[in-house]
Amino acid sequence: MYGPLRPDPSLPPVRINLYSDTQTRPSPAMREAMLGAGVGDEQLGLDPSVNALCERVAAMLGKEAAMFLPSGAMCNSVAILTHCRPGDEIIAHETAHIIEAEGGAPWALAGARVLGLRGARGMFSADDLRAALTMPSRYAAPQVLLEIEQTANLGGGTIWPLATLRDLVGIARAAGMATHMDGARLMNAVVASGISAAAYAAPFDTVWIDFTKGLGAPLGAVLAGSADLIDRAWRWKQRLGGALRQAGICAAACLYALDHNVDRLAEDHANARDLAAGLAAIGGLNVEPPETNLVYVDVAASGRTPGDWAAALRAQGIMVSVMGATRLRLCTHLDVTGTDIIETIAAFHNLA
């Protein structure tokens, strides 16, 4: 998954980084905002920049309260630990980030197992969820949490329809379950669909957004929910070492991102569409139509492995992700230009 990232001095410098939107670097203007940030002890509620960020994100998501954390993975872990107890069961898609890319954290930290449901493009239906529910029994693990990833990364950056989310949450609530949204790329869904973050977040008990992907900050994510939930989540933040000190330097980057880097996500989506169209014209490549900023390419018919393609591209200074036995992922972001897209398509043509 994603492929190894090991320094190799024999390789040329990376010119075009399509590995992930986590590869963005803070702009000079963002660094200036960080330099001028007001700071204080975040644990004591004395950091004005962190407080401003949490208040803004809570309002944006329509929640009572929020907390600043170093990463989205920690947001997921803190939320799961707050909602679940050892032996509980979480229901998510089988390709969810909490299953595929967080080191088994739900099992290791919360002692909760995750039941992965199948479904095309990273999503499942209301009928799929109903079929997965079990009758309350002393023999069965309590099903306590429904988890949704918006957008669905391994599904191709797909956007869960709002009506589907509402249906799923309604079923989960009727079954006595809590609900959590992994909003790593929620703002991509907002920009692509025109539906507000608050509307997507409204059905869920907890939700978080990431600032290190398309929004371009060097670190940070914000978890939001009711005042009571966030108050309880703080104990887990403390236990996991997520409590910070003068974190305003980092929160300032996130505030800058909200001011300057949200609407421009549309550029990433346009670049992804152009990239997909260019690659689709190459024989042996099966390109999944992108909905946001992730372009998945199945290379099985090309006669080469994804690793072969990635290595050949890396030799030209282009970095992409290997995603399983047959797929590559190319991720557009604020450090990828239209010229980069043209060069990448040309590189694929030359290698075909």
What is the structure's pLDDT at 8?
Answer: 76
Q: What are the tens digits of pLDDT across the range 331-347?
A: 999 999 999 999 999 99
In which band, very low, low, confident or very high, does the pLDDT at 5 lie, cut at 50, 70 and 90? Answer: low
CA–CA separation, 131 vs 108, rounded Å? 27
CA–CA separation, 257 vs 102, rounded Å? 25
Q: What are the tens digits of pLDDT across the range 302-330?
A: 999 999 999 999 999 999 999 999 999 99
CA angle 142, 148, 149 (to 5 degrees): 140
Query: Residue 343: what residue type?
Result: E
Q: What is the mean pLDDT of residues 93-109?
A: 97
As to burial, measured by CB atoms within 10 angstroms (0-12 exposed, 13-18 middle, 19+ buried), residue 139 is: exposed
Query: Residue 136: what residue type?
Result: P
Q: Which of 3-7, 86-90, 221-225 is predicted least confidently?
A: 3-7
Q: What are the tens digits of pLDDT across the range 250-274?
A: 999 999 999 999 999 999 999 999 9
pLDDT of 9 strictly over 90: no
What is the structure's pLDDT at 63?
Answer: 98
Strand order from edge to edge, sheet including 206-210 = 65-69, 221-225, 206-210, 178-183, 143-149, 89-93, 113-117
In which band, very low, low, confident or very high, does the pLDDT at 224 lie, cut at 50, 70 and 90? Answer: very high
Spell out the domains of the chain, with CATH numbers in brackets.
16-25+264-351 (3.90.1150.10), 36-259 (3.40.640.10)
Task: Enter the DSSP assignment of 106.
Answer: I
Across all residues in the chain, what is the average pLDDT?
A: 96
